[in-house]
Amino acid sequence: MHLHLFAFLRLLSPLLAAAGILMAAAAPPSAVAPAATDIVFKSLQYFELQEKLLELQRSLSDEQTKRAQTKRDFGEVLDLIRSASQQRTHDDQILGYIGAARQVQALLRGAVRGNSDRQRGTLTRLVAETKVLLNKAYGEEKPDQKITDYLGQAEVQIQESSRSDALLRQRLRALLGNIDNRIRNVPPPPAFRNASGQMMVYVDAGAESFYLSAAPVSRTLFETFLAEFQKSAPQAPAPAGTHPAATPGSEALHPTPAAVSWDMATAFCKWLSARERHPYALPTAAQLEAAGPQTPCALWTRTEWRGPEPRSVETRQRFGGSMYQIWAPDTSLNPGGAEPAELPFAEYPNLGFSIVTAPETGHRTRWERLTKLK
């Protein structure tokens, strides 16, 4: 695309020597020297034109080199994405996608900063300045066609560069979206331990999949919540059985908090959600049925009990509030296989609770862990 200047610059050589003619013509001693402002050194104008053309040529070459490098960088990102998709473990796949996303973001930052826009502004200015010098050098004569063609080609390259940059920004943003979708499509981890130390296990239930705590909430974690809860509400008494005096080995003997009401279990879930910055809740009765956890105690659910028989209706009317189902297979709270339910303030020594969270929490927890490694 670049026009070699040497051919037409050789045409200027006789003119570059014209300055010597002015030196050879010595004025008579009695003659009056002409005004310097009336003398036009045309060879100097050709020289300035030559220098401006060379500057334009270098700038155009730099712009082409940078565009070629960006194209190679884009190709390398595509290679990174392909490589990531072929990794054996899900962690390695995501690490590969993270690396590719950071490369894309770096390219996008360079494009958005306007570096190419500034370079095109410089090129446009150089073309305009070259045209001015071209008119001065040739005056009323017809300019050299090679120079005219070269300037036209330079303007075309500047326009192509602008279109290419706009398309690059569009493709980079689309590529970021593609990488994000790929990461989301990586299956969630089978289990993870959150920052509070609670192990969560994935329960595959199709579109209704979720994570369930591997065991009921531990006494240690619940007492951490309870201490903070009482600081924020110092007048609120501790529910019965939830905060016995700590003794050596008490966690082993009584791993779950005793006699926790539905209200306190729900308050714990809100506290944990804020602490983890991910949503946690009590499980529904259907979720516990799907998971079938083996637990040492009965478990609260967030499923409201609405038994149709007259006795259940009468109970709800008498207490004037909601009742919640209790998941209690093989426990004293489930006599004869009946569906147990209780008021939210009820407390029983063998009634604890588990927690659930969405698959997105597993995705995000893994993402947070891996981004610290990358």
- Interval 113-133: pLDDT, tens: 556 778 888 999 999 999 999
pLDDT digits 0-9 by tens, 278-337? 999 999 999 999 998 877 788 999 998 876 665 666 666 666 668 899 988 765 665 555
- Residue 142 one-letter amino acid: K
d(CA 295, CA 161): 66
Nearest CA to 101 out of 184, 180, 185 is that of 180
Q: What pLDDT, on the 0 to 100 scale, is given for residue 233? A: 64
Give how far Cα 350 sits from Cα of 176, 216, 225, 233, 298, Å.
51, 12, 20, 26, 6
| Environment class of 110 (CB within 10 Å of its CB; exposed 0-12, middle 13-18, buried 19+) | middle
- First vs last Cα of the chain: how many Å apart? 42
pLDDT digits 0-9 by tens, 24-57? 333 444 444 344 444 445 678 889 999 999 999 9
Nearest CA to 353 out of 281, 250, 249, 286 is that of 281
Residue spans of the domains in the chain: they are 6-185, 191-373
Nearest CA to 120 out of 148, 154, 144, 93 is that of 154
| Environment class of 161 (CB within 10 Å of its CB; exposed 0-12, middle 13-18, buried 19+) | buried
Give how far Cα 103 sits from Cα of 77, 78, 96, 166, 320, Å.
7, 10, 11, 18, 60
Q: Between the CA atoms of 257, 251, 216 and 367, what dihedral angle is there, to the nearest 10 degrees?
A: 120
- Residue 41 one-letter amino acid: F
Nearest CA to 79 out of 92, 64, 96 is that of 96
Give how far Cα 125 sits from Cα of 118, 158, 309, Å.
11, 11, 87
d(CA 212, CA 356): 5
The first and second tokens of residue 311, run together, are 């006795």
Q: What pLDDT, on the 0 to 100 scale, is given for residue 213? A: 96
pLDDT of 97 strictly over 90? yes
Task: Please give the share of the chain, as a percent, with pLDDT higher than 90.
Answer: 49
Helix (H, G, I), strand (E, B) or coil at 303: strand
The maximal CA–CA distance of the chain, rounded, in angstroms, is 138
Q: Between the CA atoms of 77, 79, 82 and 88, what dihedral angle is there, to the nearest 10 degrees?
A: -100
Give me the residues paired with residue 200 across strands.
Answer: 192, 213
Q: Identify whether the C-beta of residue 191 lies closer than 8 Å to the C-beta of residue 183.
A: no
Q: Where are the beta strands (DSSP E) in the chain?
A: 191-193, 199-203, 210-213, 298-304, 324-327, 341-342, 351-352, 356-357
d(CA 197, CA 20): 90
Nearest CA to 200 out of 142, 144, 279 is that of 279
Nearest CA to 98 out of 113, 112, 83, 108 is that of 83
Q: Other C-beta atoms within 10 Å of 229: how many?
A: 18
Q: Identify whether the C-beta of residue 49 lies closer than 8 Å to the C-beta of residue 143.
A: no
pLDDT of 5 strictly over 60? no
Q: What pLDDT, on the 0 to 100 scale, is given for residue 159? A: 92
Q: Identify whether the C-beta of residue 134 lies closer than 8 Å to the C-beta of residue 107.
A: no
Q: Identify whether the C-beta of residue 325 lies closer than 8 Å to the C-beta of residue 340.
A: yes
The pTM score is: 0.64
The first and second tokens of residue 8, run together, are 């037409």
- Residue 149 one-letter amino acid: D
pLDDT digits 0-9 by tens, 267-288? 999 999 999 999 999 999 999 9
